[in-house]
């Protein structure tokens, strides 16, 4: 079993690795010749451009306002669903009754210590 594998191992290794894959590909492919382009070959604006510019600007502004409105609606729905003030405690007031534990009455203190 090991003898046939050992006999074919170098050939299998070269088929897997294929050292010559790049050279074979180079021989079948012609190099790409990119055309030389100058600024003179570029398109030149002609005719009135302001109307098209204003139309595109109005369309893009509409997209922007729709996006802002949808963001505000989704933010409002999120804040409504989260209800961040649901578990918030009411504001504490430092009244004399609220601070009575700092200066307890002597009879209450004696009752607690007994």
pLDDT at residue 92 is higher than 90: no
Cβ neighbours for 112, distance < 8 A, ≥ 6 positions apart: 104
Distances (CA, A) of 63 to 11, 47, 68, 70, 76: 63, 27, 9, 10, 20
b or e along 4-29 (b: 16 or more beta carbons within 10 Å of the residue's beta carbon)? Answer: eeeeeeeeeeeeeeeeeeeeeeeeee
Ranges 31-40, 54-63, 92-101: which has the least confidence: 92-101
**Token pair in block for residue 87:** 């578990």
The whole-angstrom separation of Cα 75 and Cα 81 is: 10
The pLDDT tens digits for 8-40 are 666 666 666 665 555 555 666 777 888 888 888
pLDDT at 64: 99
pLDDT at 65: 99
Most trustworthy range by pLDDT among 5-19, 48-62, 82-96: 48-62
pLDDT at 54: 96
pTM here is: 0.43
pLDDT band at 76 (very low <50, low <70, confident <90, very high): very high
CB 64 within 8 A of CB 70: no
């Amino acid at each position: 079993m090991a003898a046939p594998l050992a006999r074919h191992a170098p050939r299998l290794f070269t088929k897997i690795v294929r050292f010559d894959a790049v050279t074979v590909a180079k021989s079948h492919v012609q190099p790409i010749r990119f055309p030389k382009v100058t600024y003179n070959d570029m398109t030149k604006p002609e005719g009135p451009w302001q109307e098209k510019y204003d139309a595109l600007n109005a369309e893009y502004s509409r997209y922007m306002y729709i996006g802002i409105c949808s963001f505000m609606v989704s933010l409002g729905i999120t804040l409504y669903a989260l209800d961040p003030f649901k578990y918030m405690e009411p504001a504490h007031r430092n009244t004399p009754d609220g601070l009575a534990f700092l200066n307890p009455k002597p009879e209450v203190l004696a009752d607690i210590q007994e």
